[in-house]
């Protein structure tokens, strides 16, 4: 059943939406070059100054497999100096979860693929094996970090093909039983459609015991924001996004680009949702990426076209506001 766009998961009015910046992890792992640690810190600082208060900044995987994440501890240590910033990391196994806990992160995402083919390619375990491992991870992290069951290939898989909705619901139920604090649904391969999103959100909600809170979309086929809108209509209030649309999955061929953070915040603000993010300041953060990753494609409609005129004060209005502010200060 579709919910009112202004009603949260608990059935109460909720105009607040959490936008989690995942570019430092999901974005950077998808490009060939490695961003310098100091540039990652600048990215975190600039995003924080723009009002971003949730960031997924690293993953704990062997450096030989993902050299882009070799500085995970240093990046996390810096992120933790930002007051009020919720710091998240991804960890695919027990060793990674222990490192994440030791680093002091607040939340740990464990990727659990619904597709067996993708699961074997990504973590060399079947989905059932991952649930068993996840139960151990949750026990290890109890009282020290929030555990997120990041269900991936929820909406289709480039390796397996169709992913039955009943399989998604079954895995979500198992993840909750294993100790998940949060269930997040991921469109790893960029195949989600609006109808699918609504159907799967409701199917998973029925078994997730109130723990379905987050959606992660890719914009491979241009439906990222549309799918987000459907998620909003079904009561979801937390979404992943990446500055300049960076991102993808190494084990999901063709799954280019996370939802663009700037475009997402623009859409949310246009619908009167609150994010706490200064949109102009967020767009300006792109300069950090441009300097750190010269030549890397940066995507986004808003950065190219700018805000529509009806969403900006007129020059005369801005001048009057400035004059009024000055007069009140002087008096």
- The per-type count for the chain, helices as H runs and strands as E runs, is 13, 8
Query: Would you say 10 and 236 are in contact if contact means Cβ atoms under 8 Å apart?
Result: no
DSSP letter at 157 equals: B
Q: Is 82 exposed, middle or buried (0-12, 13-18, 19+ CB in 10 A)?
A: middle
Q: Is the dihedral of CA 161, 164, 168, 171 positive or negative?
A: negative
Contacts of 45 (CB under 8 A, 6+ apart): 82
CB-side exposure of 238: number of CA atoms within 13 Å?
17
> H helices within 147-220, ranges in order?
165-178, 194-205
Closest C-alpha to 86, from 171, 135, 18, 11: 18
What are the phi and psi torsion angles at 108 (to 5°)? -125, 125
Rounded Cα distance between 241 and 234, Å, is 19
Please confirm, yes or no, whether 249 is among the known catalytic residues: yes
Query: Would you say 147 and 179 are in contact if contact means Cβ atoms under 8 Å apart?
Result: yes
Closest C-alpha to 244, from 21, 64, 83: 21
* Residues marked as catalytic: 249
């Amino acid at each position: 059943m579709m919910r009112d766009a202004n009603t949260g998961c608990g059935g109460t009015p909720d105009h607040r939406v959490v936008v989690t910046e995942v570019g430092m992890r999901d974005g950077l792992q998808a490009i060939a070059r490695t961003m310098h640690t100091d540039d990652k810190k600048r990215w975190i600082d600039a995003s924080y100054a723009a009002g971003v208060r949730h960031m997924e900044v690293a993953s704990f995987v062997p450096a030989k497999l993902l050299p882009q994440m070799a500085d995970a501890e240093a990046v996390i240590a810096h992120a933790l100096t930002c007051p009020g910033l919720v710091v998240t990391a991804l960890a695919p196994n027990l060793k990674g979860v222990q490192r994440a806990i030791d680093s002091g992160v607040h939340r740990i995402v464990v990727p659990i693929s619904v597709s067996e083919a993708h699961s074997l390619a990504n973590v060399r375990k079947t989905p059932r094996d991952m649930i068993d491992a996840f139960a151990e991870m949750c026990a290890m992290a109890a009282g020290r970090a929030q555990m997120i069951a990041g269900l991936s290939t929820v909406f289709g898989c480039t390796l397996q093909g169709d992913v039955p909705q009943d399989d998604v619901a079954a895995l979500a139920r198992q993840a909750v039983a294993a100790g998940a604090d949060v269930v997040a649904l991921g469109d790893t391969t960029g195949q989600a459609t609006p109808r699918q999103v609504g159907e799967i959100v409701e199917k998973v909600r029925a078994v997730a015991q109130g723990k379905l809170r987050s959606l992660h979309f890719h914009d491979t086929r241009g439906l990222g924001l549309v799918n987000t809108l459907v998620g909003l209509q079904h009561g979801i209030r937390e979404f992943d996004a990446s500055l300049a649309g960076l991102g993808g999955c190494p084990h999901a061929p063709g799954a280019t680009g996370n939802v663009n953070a700037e475009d997402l915040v623009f859409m949310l603000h246009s619908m009167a949702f609150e994010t706490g993010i200064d949109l102009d300041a967020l767009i300006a953060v792109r300069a950090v990426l441009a300097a750190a990753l010269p030549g890397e494609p940066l995507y986004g409609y808003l950065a190219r076209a700018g805000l529509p005129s009806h969403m900006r004060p007129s020059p005369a209005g801005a001048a009057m506001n400035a004059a009024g502010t000055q007069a009140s200060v002087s008096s």
